[in-house]
Amino acid sequence: MTHKKRWIAASATIILAFGLGYVWRATHFQSHFLSDTEIAGVHVGGQTAAQAAQTLRNKLSNQRYTISEHQRTLTTFTSKEAGVKAYSTATLQQLLAKQNAFAWPMHLTTAAASDQSLSKQAIDQAQLNRLASQVVASAGTNRTKTVNATLVYQQHKFQIKAPTYGTEVTQASVAAALSAAVRQDKTQINLKQAYVKPTVLANSPKLKAAKTKATTLSKNTITYHLAQHTVQIPSDTIASWLTTTNGNVSVSQPQILKYLTKLSYKYGTVHHARHFKTTGGSTVTVPAGLYGWSIKVASETPKLAKIVLAGKSTTRTPVIQGTGYHANGTDIGNTYVEVSKAHQHMWIYKHGKLVISTAVVTGKPVKGTTPSGVYVVWSKQRNATLRGQNDDGSNYASPVSYWMPVDDTGVGIHDSPWQPRYGGNWYLTHGSHGCVNTPPSVMSKVYATVPLKTPVVIY
């Protein structure tokens, strides 16, 4: 045999031997883990599923973990306390079936190629949560709260405020950190790994878009007409209502309601005393009563919120409640009822003309004194029975032909056939329980002349 033939034969023998060896090892690794395989940091290379299950049980049953922060140990725990359940032989058989047995030469020296963490199913979540709660308790509450990047309004412009990376920990954040450490066989755990992390950063595209939108909305022109007043809502005020949640711009309705309440109190009339020129020519200050108007803030708030988010210039009169609102700014007007307690007299004006003038009897001081204020005829009734208590505590029931209540305590204007006289000082000893007693001969005309919602000025 020539030298060349001998070389060919030898090479074929070597190749055949290598091939047989390769196939034999591949067959071996169909029932054994590849040489460098680790599960949760535990080396199980070359072991069968049953052998690996026993190795993991031995390792995990005695594993101890330490949690520290700033070089101070907070607590220690075992795998069992963390709820770790060792893999069963059947589970490991499934892992074996997924490995590529024919790639065994690549796993002779590359330790990282077949590293595997414990699956989440290998840890009892309820038990892990209990352990996490204990860690949170031991960590204490004096911690810096983590805050997402957010939109703030400062120095008349919107700016993105960077997030705060705090030291805050929660059950969920600690449980996640413990689970990762246990699954990866990291026995030393720094609590910093469990700090709650911000979910919105300063470079968030949604936050940048929100900044642009909020800036545009804040510069919108929104104008209110309130009687003779024109009020444009300042840009800074609109900006103070805008908030962002997950990058979405919204408005704070409580803040809008607060603004409208102040606006209502400033321009509305129901809460304010009036300077009233009497029939006698003097000017008196009359306290607020039921008459007057205000902004119905509960109804106007959602409307204004919608206008702000629409971003379109708007001019409107807000939703008004009460009586006496006039676009020209007039209040009591020239149709009203005037009652002077000092003069025991009532005048009724209609369109600026005096149509009725009559002596009356008001409430007996002090208990029955007729309250001063600007009230309103809010109802009219025929043949009513007025009920209440006399000064001695006994009950009374007084039938009247005409009844016109003006406040919310039972005070009104009505006929009083039991009164023998009107005007003068008669009210000091025979005054009413607070109502304006009117002569029956006049009351029918009063009833016919005075419409609902007519202001009644008592002073």
pLDDT of the chain, 459 residues: tens digit per residue? 565 655 555 565 566 555 565 666 767 878 887 877 777 667 788 878 788 777 777 776 678 999 999 999 999 998 888 888 767 787 778 878 888 877 767 666 544 444 565 566 678 899 999 999 999 999 999 999 999 999 999 999 999 999 999 999 999 999 999 999 987 879 999 999 999 999 999 999 999 999 999 999 999 999 999 999 999 999 999 999 999 887 899 999 999 999 999 999 999 999 999 999 999 999 999 999 999 999 999 999 999 999 999 999 999 999 999 999 998 888 999 999 999 999 999 999 999 999 999 999 999 999 899 999 999 999 999 999 999 888 788 999 999 999 999 999 999 999 999 999 999 999 999 999 999 999 999 999 999 999 999 999 999
Amino acid making up residue 277: K
In CATH, what class is 336-458?
mainly beta
**How far is Cα of residue 411 from the mean position of the Cα atoms in its chain?**
42
H-helix segments, 364-438: 426-430
Catalytic residue among 32, 107, 345, 414: 414
In three-state secondary structure terms, 43 is strand
Candidates 166, 189, 170; CA nearest to 129 is 170
In CATH, what class is 205-322?
alpha beta
Q: Which residue pairs from 92-101 have beta carbons closer than 8 angstroms and sit at least 24 positions apart in sequence?
A: 92/49, 92/50, 92/52, 92/53, 93/49, 95/33, 95/39, 95/49, 96/30, 96/31, 96/32, 96/33, 96/49, 99/29, 99/33, 99/34, 99/37, 101/26, 101/27, 101/28, 101/29, 101/30, 101/34
CA dihedral 420, 424, 429, 435 (to 10 degrees): 80
**Residue 163 CB neighbours (<10 A):** 18
Structural domain spans, the chain: 205-322, 336-458
Query: Is 351 a residue of the active site?
Result: no
> Given the structure tokens 């032989």, which residue do they identify?
89
Query: Is 414 a residue of the active site?
Result: yes
- According to DSSP, the residues that pair with 229 across neighbouring strands are 226
Candidates 432, 447, 437; CA nearest to 382 is 447
Tell me, yes or no, if the two domains 205-322 and 336-458 fold the same way: no
Q: Which residue pairs from 52-58 have beta carbons closer than 8 angstroms and sit at least 24 positions apart in sequence?
A: 52/87, 52/92, 53/86, 53/87, 53/88, 53/89, 53/92, 56/86, 56/87, 57/86
Candidates 247, 246, 222; CA nearest to 308 is 222
Kindly report whether the global pTM for this prediction surpasses the value 0.85. Answer: no
In three-state secondary structure terms, 351 is coil
